[in-house]
Amino acid sequence: MARAPDVHICEVAPRDGLQNLDIFVPTEAKCALIDTIAAAGVREIDAGSFVPPKVVPQFADVDTVMAHALTHRSATIGALVPNVKGAERAIAAGVDVIYFVISASETHNQANVRRTVDEQIEGFRAVRAAIDARPVGQRLQLMGAISTSFGCSLEGEVSEAAVCRVARAFAEARADEIGLADTVGYATPKLIGQIVAAVRREVGPQMTLRLHLHDTLGAGLANAVAGLEAGIRRFDAAVSGLGGCPFAPGARGNIVTEDLVFMLERMGLSTGIDLDRLMQTREILARHIPAKHLSGHLHEAGIPKVLRSAA
């Protein structure tokens, strides 16, 4: 059995990376993107979101894309859901993990899912109950994601207490993992350490935590290092830095998976990801997405020889 990597990376480009684009990426291109990501050795892929097509047209083909993604048994295949109905669709599709999102910011939660935080917490409990009603061997994983954990473009600063409130609710409802999301990219390394420590005190050492970072203000990789120093070993990232938030105009996307992998490997931390293969995703994306949406230092500079010689 292959040794587990030191750092686990979930690739979110097929979902978070594409959801806010104003162009529809063809189904075959989404499937090819997932194929290349899986071939690179990525162990978890956020492959889509079960939402009404009129709300997010990009996922009108989510059933087809998800069925294709699930043929890759080497990777955990997940889907984001905003409510119980979406969770029911995800369960029926056979996904491995559901990501259920609640914002620490009340204003952002209302704008994002049109519910109060308390209503969304009740929705999470209902999803947990639906999963627990299934036979033991058919119970998928359930992650609670806390959006705007490090700031909000609508409210500004988000209090530690607001983040911990949602984290506590997730833990009490038996989430399998909690994700802390820098949705609009306002975090700093110091804030990363503070919020991670606060949530850890709130939910205890047994709960698995991950970070979902955006690079709006250029601090994405620095924040990842701060996460490592705080004990985080699970991160979300997107190839070519795809993504953004509709409530943060002009915001850049997720931290770039290729750059994150390079940095981690140079720090002596294994990811289990073949960087050369991962870089091939750019060719797929560039055929369908304008260059202005694609970023990444390695794509601009190339992979330094120092890494190739160390491989």
Helices 257-266, 220-229: inter-axial angle, 10-degree rounding: 50
Ramachandran quadrant class, 166 (left: phi over 0; alpha: psi -120 to 50; beta: rest)? alpha
Which token pair is 209? 């935590």
Q: Which of 25, 33, 19, 53 has its CA nearest to residue 183?
A: 19
Q: SS in 3 state form for 48-68?
A: EECCCCCCCHHHCCHHHHHHH
Residues 6+ apart with CB under 8 A from 47: 14, 15, 34, 65, 66, 69, 77, 78, 79, 95
CB-based contacts of 275, cutoff 8 Å, min separation 6: 40, 258, 261, 262, 265, 298, 303, 307
How far apart CA 43 and CA 11 sit, in angstroms, is 8
Paired residues of 9 in beta bridges: 235
The torsion region of residue 38 among left (phi > 0), alpha (psi -120 to 50) and beta comes to: alpha
Catalytically active residues, by annotation: 245
Determine the 3-state secondary structure of 281 from DSSP: helix
Residue with tokens 């997107």: 238
| Partners of 8 in the β-ladder | 234
Q: What's 26's DSSP letter?
A: P
